Chain A
Amino acid sequence: MSLQDSSPASTAGKSSPAASGGPSLLARLANPRVYCALLALSLLVIIPAWSGSTFVIHVFVTICVFGALATAWNILGGYAGQLSLGHTVFYGIGGYTAALLLDSFGLSPWIGMIGGAALAALVSVGIGYPCFRLRGPFFSLATIAFLEVVRLLAIHFNGLTGGSAGLVVPLQIGWPWMIFREKINYLYIAFGLLLLSLAVSYAIRNSRLGYALTAVRERDSAAQAAGININGVKLWAIAISAALTATVGTFHAMYMTFLEPATLFSLATAIEIAMFALIGGLGTVAGPLLGTVLVVPLAELARGWLGASANGLHGFVYGTVLVVITLTLPGGLVGTFGPFVTRLIDRLPGGGRTRPETVAPAAKLVGGTVGEPVLKATNLVKRFGGLVATDNVSLTLKRGEILGVIGPNGAGKTTVFAQLSGFLAPNAGTVELLGQDGKWHQPKTPDAFARLGIGRTFQIVQPFGKLTVLENIMIGAFLRHRSVDDARAVALRVARTVGLYELKDVEAGTLPIGGLKRLEVARTLATEPTILLLDEVMAGQSQSDTLKMVELVRAIRDSGVSVIAIEHNMQAIMSLSDRIVVIDSGKVIAEGAPETVVRERRVIEAYLGEDFVHAQGL
């Protein structure tokens, strides 16, 4: 078995969204997914333009605005899984920045729009940085609290914002001032902003950042092991989302020509935005817009026909639809019906084409001299309360060797691994890595360890359950490859190497344990590590799979990678390892060649007890 086995398979079954560097523009337009989407989108302008009614135009402007807001929200709420219920902070910042710049300095709202977006991005990072450590509902509550604080401050500082009484936008008509007599012009801008949001959302979905966000949402530990800076990517998501939201906020404020804190920093609107995204389908490109298209006209029509007597009707409908969706279609409309519709669309002329597999960039050969130390752990101590889980452990890994770590259950092997990969900080002692630059480094975070070449698997498997096997491996491959095509190609090569190629399009959550263990190895290998930490990868494998795994680990080592393996499968670890370290009760009790270590009295004691040692007369 060779790691360089990269012959592109002739049957690339998976059709996937176009990515950068793909086919030409014209060729893309011939794809039914593209022309159907563009046709559907253009209806948002064609219908109101054809009808000519101001009310219809207003409804469509509202759809475009909320579609754009929900799409922008989805970048944070859907892709990154951070449910902001205070997103109107950014919308309001966009509105007020532009209105105040216009009011005080006579600056065009187009400039204010950019200023508002920049300010919102800045504020969002200030909100995100402390709040991203909060889990689930507490993040949502914190965003609500920020929104309330901003709203109350906007009311309080009425000298600046006009307070509760509100602020009227100076009425200068024309494109530079974003205020028009012809309502259709508003629609053009709203539609343009919607396209912008969709384009950004689509680009992120199909980029390294999009995959990283999905990984973080699904499982942050595995994402870190794949070298993703989890806070960094979330901050990018909130900043982009906030900037887009503020941009739309500027336009909407100009459209309404009146700003008051209650509408611009409205909690109800913030909830509606999130709601539209969920109804359409969280984490999908089309979902947020679809949700908006579905429920906004209902509400606007009710308001138009029934007037004030229907006060509350639209909110009641929104709330009820949301509850029904959570109970019946938790994936939203796109999550539930999307695959079916996509199949139908692919039957149209020009559809169903599969993308050719690109050839993976050659795996980098690991340089350096075989036998030189590449990892040094010195006097590691880790305490959990009164328990000393790691008690003064030192070990050195040499380039190109396979170091086996054995020890009875609860001996502290996995705790040592966690410290060697940055997941636990030792109470005392250091972990040093030899970088590609030939210098020694002491990284602090798991993603920094990964970037320096540590690849680890988890004893308790950590798949990204909702992603396919191939996408799981791609998350690893993105560590060394920026482009989606390269990452895919590398992932395919790794999938073949570990024997997961046939399962590449299967949802990872459905794999049996043996497959999941191999997926752990595959995702880690895809990061192209120089040091591989394997935590019980043989467990749960069949006899023949264990043999394959042993072969695989040898092949990895032969490509220049150094390996540390924790294993309970004695036969496998003894035949595999060049050297063995035995850990018991947090201490290293023996070290040496496999055949000598197993004869040591202390090792036999640790595994079988003193009584056994006495009985055997050893």
Chain B
Amino acid sequence: MDVLIQLVLNGILLGSMYAIISVGLTLIFGIVRVVNFAHGEFLMVGMYAAYLLAAKFGLHPYAAAVPIVILLFAIGAAVQRFLIQPLLGAEEHIQIFATVGLSTALVNLALLVFGADLYSIPPSAAQGSVMVGGFSLVKGQLVMFVCALALVAGLHLFMQSTALGRAIRATAQNRNAALLMGVKVDQIYVIAFGIGAGCVGLAAALVMPLYPVTPTIGTYFVLTAFVVVVLGGMRSMYGAFFGAMIIGLVDSLSGYYIAPDLKEVVYFALFLAILIFKPTGLFGLGRGTE
């Protein structure tokens, strides 16, 4: 029983990491209606930034979160402005190829600059664990859990109670109607993409103390993030949050009860099953295949 509770706790904490990454992906898909295949590479860029700030200036990634979020916001906004926006009227496959191309270019740029080696920052307190009621929890993961809750709550407040948030929601629901109401839709898209990328910046800063960075780390995380987004119904931030928790649990439990190297098989199978049989997501919050 204790093992099970420990696994569930681990799963929830792991899920909070996926939540932060997936919320950004969901925002971009829900608002701009573009599937960002380069999302994982944004994470990778953020992690290299965190690594460099730590290695050159001795800045702890948690302290570096602010500049990294700003950097990622800028990258996201630029990608929307100069890559996605010119292609919004283009056929869907062109949009897919554009972000796939960006992803390939970024992975290989990192390979060129940093090589295939693992880079990690010096060990810090984040890797230590605390005992709570007889269960061991990794401190860095606890921080992520708190941040994930704060992020979703913060975004909720922003979307519901600011003028910009309302404009973003209006644009997401009906682009043309928003346009007719005087919303500068193109600007909204740039901001939304920036926010989505900014979320990944936060994730990068929080992940860095726990995982080493490699050029392909983005691919590893983003495939999971896609699973989460589909589970959550594609458009819903809240769906993505709970989807992430489920994937965290699946990861933790199947890693223990089935086989560590098959846990991804389990959630990819779950992903395919959801896509095929319940495209509105587990909670029916979205409309996946429309």
Contacts and interface: CB of A to CB of B under 8 A. Distances in A.
Interface in B53-106: 83, 86-87, 90-98, 100-106
Contact of A319 (B90, B101, B230): B101
Interface string B265-290: 10011011001100100000000111
B103 to A, nearest CB: 7
Contacts of B223: 144-145, 148
B230 to A, nearest CB: 7
Contact of A141 (B35, B87, B101): B35
B264 interface: yes
B246 to A, nearest CB: 16
Interface string B20-55: 000000000000000101000000000000000000
Contacts of B290: 135
Interface in B201-242: 215, 219, 223, 226-227, 230
Candidate in A131, A149, A318 with the most chain B CB atoms within 10 angstroms: A149
A140 interface: yes
Candidate in B86, B102, B105, B279 with the most chain A CB atoms within 10 angstroms: B105
B128 interface: no
Interface residues of B, number: 50
Contacts of B37: 137
A316 interface: yes
Nearest to A144: B223
A313 B93 contact: no
Contacts of B154: none
A130 interface: yes
B280 to A, nearest CB: 12
Question: Taking chain A's interface residues, is the majority helix, strand, or loop, or is none over half, making it mixed?
Answer: helix
A323 B101 contact: yes
B287 to A, nearest CB: 10
B112 A313 contact: yes
Contacts of A323: 83, 98, 101-102, 105
Given A322-B97, A330-B90, A316 B105 contact: yes
B101 A320 contact: yes
Contacts of B109: 312, 316
A135 B219 CA distance: 22
Question: Taking chain B's interface residues, is the majority helix, strand, or loop, or is none over half, making it mixed?
Answer: helix
Contacts of A327: 83, 86-87, 98
Interface residues of A, number: 48
Contacts of B259: 156
A78 to B, nearest CB: 9
A319 B35 contact: no
B262 interface: yes
Contacts of A134: 275-276, 279, 288-289
A564 interface: no
B240 to A, nearest CB: 15
Interface in B108-125: 108-112, 115-116
Contact of B276 (A130, A268, A271): A130
B111 A319 contact: no
Interface of A: 77, 81, 83, 85, 130-131, 133-138, 140-142, 144-146, 148-149, 152-153, 155-156, 267-268, 271, 274-275, 278, 282, 310-316, 318-323, 325-327, 330
Given A145-B268, A156-B259, A275-B104, 9 more contacts: A133-B276, A138-B288, A141-B230, A145-B272, A148-B223, A148-B264, A312-B111, A326-B94, A330-B90
12 contacts: A81-B93, A83-B93, A148-B264, A149-B272, A275-B101, A312-B110, A312-B111, A312-B215, A315-B104, A319-B104, A322-B101, A327-B86
